[in-house]
Amino acid sequence: MAEVKNNKEKNRYELSVNGKTAVAEYILNKQGVLFFTHTEVPDEHEGQGVASKLLEAAFRDAEDRDLKIAPICPFVKSYLQRHPEWKRLLAEEHRF
């Protein structure tokens, strides 16, 4: 698997897997909150940990940049429930 890249022009994190691209789309507001709006993995790579790798890298990047996160996407919400160690990055109004 390739490295996760932040494609700032398209407002998404990308991970290339066998010529296909998995994405975690976001909106970055002026207050420094990354709103994760949509996560998509090519059908043939679902269930292989691709989205998890994508989000782990995105969350590390957010933390390195002193950004907070806000899960809008259902997958991101469920990921955070399974990985509570990342809840430290949640924007105050999005804590659960």
For the chain, the structural domain boundaries read 5-94
Please report where in the chains the tokens 């890298």 appear, as a residue.
57
Query: C-alpha distances in angstroms, 51 versus 16, 29, 31?
Result: 11, 23, 26
How far from the centroid of its chain's Cα atoms is residue 8's Cα?
A: 13
Would you say residue 34 has pLDDT above 60?
yes
- The answer to whether domain 5-94 has CATH 1.10.230.10 is no
pLDDT band at 8 (very low <50, low <70, confident <90, very high): very high
Let me know: does 55 contact 69? Beta carbons within 8 Å: no
Q: What would the pLDDT profile of 35-44 be if each residue is shown by its tens digit?
A: 999 999 998 9
